[in-house]
Structure 1
Amino acid sequence: MSQSTSIPKKQQRVRDHGFDNYMEIEKKMRKVLKFQSLILSQYNQTLPISRLDNLAGRLGFKQFEAGAFILKFPHVFEVYEHPVQRVLYCRLTRKAINQIMQEKEALLAQIPDAVTRLRKLIMMSNEGRLRLEHVRIARYEFGLPDDFEYSVVLKYPRFFRLVDAIETRNKYIEVVDRDRKLTVCAIEKVREREYREKGMDAEDVRFKFMVNFPPGFKIGKYYRIAVWKWQRVPYWSPYEDISGYDLRSIEAQKRMEKRAVASIHELLSLTVEKKMTMERIAHFRMAMNLPNKLKGFLLQHQGIFYVSTRGNHGKLHTVFLREAYWKGELVEANGLYLARRKLCELVLLSSRKANVDRGLVRYRRDIEEDEMEHFRRDCAEDGFEGGKEGKEGEREGDLNLDLSCDVYSDFTDEVHEDDDVDDIEKAENAQLNRQRSESQICIRDARISKLYGIGVLQGRLHLTGKLLVLQVARVVSECRRSLTFIWLLLPCLLSSYQN
């Protein structure tokens, strides 16, 4: 192969921490998904803690490791005590159950898109068919349901056909009709957008791939020239039938090499998250004419793909499509991807926040009990039954009667006072009683409104948590200031005491 139009094979591998951190989170999510499937397979979707170590050993956990793992994610798993048996059980939280339901709804909603992706995937093969087992292994990446053999393949006989191969005794999925509209690759749409928006030269964009090297990748002069020449090399489309071409020439080998890059690019573009493990890509190697040494081939094009070894102690290699991600997030996110990322959000939530939420719930319940106790006490004092108001005139009459009795008892011995003075005193006492009754009514109404306002607090627990944290921080800062002040004054006090 000519060095002028080929990229050097031996290159220094540069890590991209954005993709590696993404895979570290994926490693946690993979274990969480295993535990979820284990709990959902049990009776009543609950798992006794006594059986946790025995069942978790099937998932690759060591002894006493499963319990510590569950306690790390309190927003996904919940440990509770059975009210009758007094035995600890583990179950999924309400947030985790809602996430599973949302993912199922998103999976069913995008079935038509999954049918299109499966049609394009089969059309990329040489013979127009793929093994059913290979597609089943990669069904999660392509957004296919677990029963896709019945809900997708057999449900759409105008698109797919299930065939039993006699020579290999394997089942194959064949495409019935090759639609010309589906033979447009994802990279061709990107080139068209680049040509329209940036106004680039048509000859430069015609066979170009979007290259974005990782940070720290050293690009030399000759390497830059080799990449520029390689971008101009023509190639056959992954959907094109190449059985009639002579592939022995050097020019044909160059085209086949670039066609392999386009095939892997299109394969990753058909996935939901624009990533796939190298081991699952290798299942389609024979059907799509991919190179045997797949890892070295992908490392040769680090500007287009990124191979991450994080996630399974270096045993698992995940291939990312670099142009589909920006700062660790998918650029064009779909509904299924967003539903899956909600589980990632639950995994990343801190366990401290879960404890704060539980404390806030208890704090809210204590407030409700205190408010109800104050309300009942006020109702008993004011003569209310079951929280219902009586007549205001009767309440004022009782108060006036009590106070008037006190007034008359004070002035019984003064029989020589004038009648006008008695009238003035009565008027003042009546006005005072009226003011007291109005103040009591205002206090009662305020407590009632505060009691009814507790329902609003239930929907704003996060705001209450923030206020509680701010109050605690303020108290801690004040304590620190006072201790610092005492520490500074302590030498002066000791010196004055010695003098």
Structure 2
Amino acid sequence: MQIFIFRISNFLNQRLQNSPWINHHQYNPNFNFNFIFREMSQSTSIPKKQLRIRDHGYDNYMEIEKKTRKVLKFQNLILSERNQSIPIPRLETLAHRIGFTRHEASAFILKFPHVFEIFEHPVQRILFCRLTRQAILQIEQERHALAAHLSRAVKQLRKLIMMSNGLRLRLEHVRIARSALGLPDDFEYSVVLRYPEYFRLIDAKETRNKYIELVEFDPKLATCAIEDVREKVYRERGSDAEDIRFSFLIDFPPGFKISKYFRVAMWKWQRTPYWSPYEDVSGYDLRSIEAQKRMEKRAVATIHELLSLTVEKKITLERIAHFRMAMNLPKKLKEFLLQHQGIFYVSTRGNHGKLHTVFLREAYRRGELIEPNDLYLARRKLAELVLLSPRKARVDRELVGYRRSRLDDEMGQVTRAYVEDACEDFKGGDDVGQGEDEEDDLTSDIGSDIDSGDEGDD
């Protein structure tokens, strides 16, 4: 019996050393697995109540997004006006609609001069607020990226509905998560009604709610993102990758303490088979313990796939809760996600702790998306404008004023010299025409320098 225990311990140690799916920086090679066979320690399930370990890379990401979320509220308020500019007194009056007081609204706008521009109206002689040229270009960039992302968004919406029971989801739940999924605001008309070969809109008489129903289940789309990662590892490792058939990528946050019981429980959980999120489980008997374990791991795979379908590989916990009934997710979602901190990260930053943002850890490195897309880059452009220092904006305005004054002086000197030469050497129309050409060339050169300088500052 002792020889058998010794062999099992060596086998587990070798497996953990060779496995790329568990974080290695906290692995102890001298760890002994003989405790598995001790009495009073037969349970090897993952503990349900885990303390949340902070990861500052994700929290800093949410601190920036907290500012951009407030900036977007003011942007929408300004763009809703007729001339896309709003008087400061009216802005202070409407600030309560977006959760600001009168004095907070003016102070907030002054913090971001690269996004908001304050000017004096030439006729009314009162202060107005409008968006800067950089902010308008960012909005246009995001609009073009959203239009280019439409075909991919249709595919992702189909996959999202394929994970639900009965192949349908409530329209209101999809509308709430439309920004995370990369869907336009009018997706009901531009996506659902535009593609009748994929979707149909139905009204439920019993609940009086609208549902998006999938016309046909497509087996070609029933492939999870984690399966593609496993296939890549299979190609790299060959037959040595047989132990990752049901495994997930694990990367625990810094400072996460892994006990010996937790390590063995994670080793067993990684090898537990489960049903795919796209597989219909209504015909299975789910009363056994083995079936419950499979359903628990299937919930992890469902949330993993849901995050993979989003644009930024993140979504709020409250929006995931809207799909809980339709996708057979557990009731206590926060405790369930904290149970798997090596796969997901739950951040409470960004809205005074009222919202919980769930990140897919394998998709990020040092707070940045590993494989960014155009829509993600367009949204991060606004974050870059928010992070620019107000001091730099003042320097830019001074440089622009200096260039304009210098241009006026140079143009005055060129004009005076041209008039004197024309009076002294006036001989005909050819010479005058040549002088005009030289003046135009010089003027065009100065103008091109200023334009290039402005573009560089932008």
TM-score normalised by the chain length of structure 2: 0.85
1:85-484 to 2 correspondence within 5 Å? 85-199=124-238, 201-383=240-422, 453-461=445-453
Conservation of the 8 A alpha-carbon contact between 1:379 and 1:387: no
For 1:179 and 1:294, how far apart are their aligned partners in 2? 29
Q: Which has the higher contact order (CA 8 A, sep 6+)?
A: 2
Conservation of the 8 A alpha-carbon contact between 1:80 and 1:89: yes
Q: Secondary structure at the match of 2:201?
A: strand
Q: CA deviation at 1:222?
A: 2.4
Q: Secondary structure at the match of 2:100?
A: coil
Residue type of the partner of 1:68? Answer: A
Conservation of the 8 A alpha-carbon contact between 1:131 and 1:170: yes
| Inter-CA distance 243–448: structure 2 relative to 1 (3 Å threshold) | closer
Once the two structures are superposed, residues 337-388 of structure 1 have per-residue CA deviations (whole angstroms, 9 ceiling, x without a partner) of 1111111111111111111111111111111122123223333444458999
**Which position in structure 2 is the counterpart of 1:42?**
81
Length, aligned pairs only? 412
| Inter-CA distance 60–224: structure 2 relative to 1 (3 Å threshold) | same
For 2:312 and 2:327, how far apart are their aligned partners in 1? 21
Once the two structures are superposed, residues 179-211 of structure 1 have per-residue CA deviations (whole angstroms, 9 ceiling, x without a partner) of 000100001001111222344733311101001
Residue type of the partner of 1:348? Answer: L
| Inter-CA distance 335–216: structure 2 relative to 1 (3 Å threshold) | same
Residue type of the partner of 1:257? Answer: E
Q: Secondary structure at the match of 1:287?
A: coil
Conservation of the 8 A alpha-carbon contact between 1:371 and 1:447: no
Query: RMSD in angstroms over aligned alpha carbons?
Result: 2.5
Residue type of the partner of 2:447? Answer: G
For 1:152 and 1:388, how far apart are their aligned partners in 2? 71
| Inter-CA distance 387–56: structure 2 relative to 1 (3 Å threshold) | farther
1:53 is aligned, of 71, 92, 96, to 92
TM-score normalised by the chain length of structure 1: 0.78
Q: CA deviation at 1:11?
A: 2.3
For 1:448 and 1:109, how far apart are their aligned partners in 2? 42
| Inter-CA distance 85–304: structure 2 relative to 1 (3 Å threshold) | same
Residue type of the partner of 1:223? Answer: F
2:62 aligned with 1:32: no
For 1:353 and 1:105, how far apart are their aligned partners in 2? 28
For 1:387 and 1:362, how far apart are their aligned partners in 2? 37
Once the two structures are superposed, residues 188-239 of structure 1 have per-residue CA deviations (whole angstroms, 9 ceiling, x without a partner) of 0011112223447333111010011111112222222211111000000000
**Which position in structure 1 is the counterpart of 2:21?**
none
| Inter-CA distance 372–8: structure 2 relative to 1 (3 Å threshold) | same
| Inter-CA distance 223–112: structure 2 relative to 1 (3 Å threshold) | same
Q: Secondary structure at the match of 1:12?
A: coil
Q: Secondary structure at the match of 1:302?
A: coil
Residue type of the partner of 1:377? Answer: R
Once the two structures are superposed, residues 368-416 of structure 1 have per-residue CA deviations (whole angstroms, 9 ceiling, x without a partner) of 1221232233334444589999999xxxxxxxxxxxxxxxxxxxxxxxx
Gaps of 5+ in 2: 1-40, 432-436
Q: CA deviation at 1:104?
A: 1.3
Conservation of the 8 A alpha-carbon contact between 1:78 and 1:93: yes
2:105 aligned with 1:62: no
For 1:83 and 1:389, how far apart are their aligned partners in 2? 45
| Inter-CA distance 123–376: structure 2 relative to 1 (3 Å threshold) | same
| Inter-CA distance 200–52: structure 2 relative to 1 (3 Å threshold) | farther
Once the two structures are superposed, residues 322-342 of structure 1 have per-residue CA deviations (whole angstroms, 9 ceiling, x without a partner) of 001111111111111111111
| Inter-CA distance 209–378: structure 2 relative to 1 (3 Å threshold) | same
For 2:72 and 2:430, how far apart are their aligned partners in 1? 63
Once the two structures are superposed, residues 108-143 of structure 1 have per-residue CA deviations (whole angstroms, 9 ceiling, x without a partner) of 111111111111111101111111111111111111
| Inter-CA distance 448–110: structure 2 relative to 1 (3 Å threshold) | closer
For 1:168 and 1:464, how far apart are their aligned partners in 2? 56
Q: CA deviation at 1:251?
A: 0.4
Residue type of the partner of 1:205? Answer: I
Q: CA deviation at 1:160?
A: 0.7
For 2:291 and 2:351, how far apart are their aligned partners in 1? 38
For 1:241 and 1:103, how far apart are their aligned partners in 2? 37
Gaps of 5+ in 1: 393-444, 466-499
Q: CA deviation at 1:80?
A: 0.8
For 1:321 and 1:387, how far apart are their aligned partners in 2? 77
Conservation of the 8 A alpha-carbon contact between 2:44 and 2:262: no
Q: CA deviation at 1:84?
A: 0.9
For 1:15 and 1:138, how far apart are their aligned partners in 2? 25
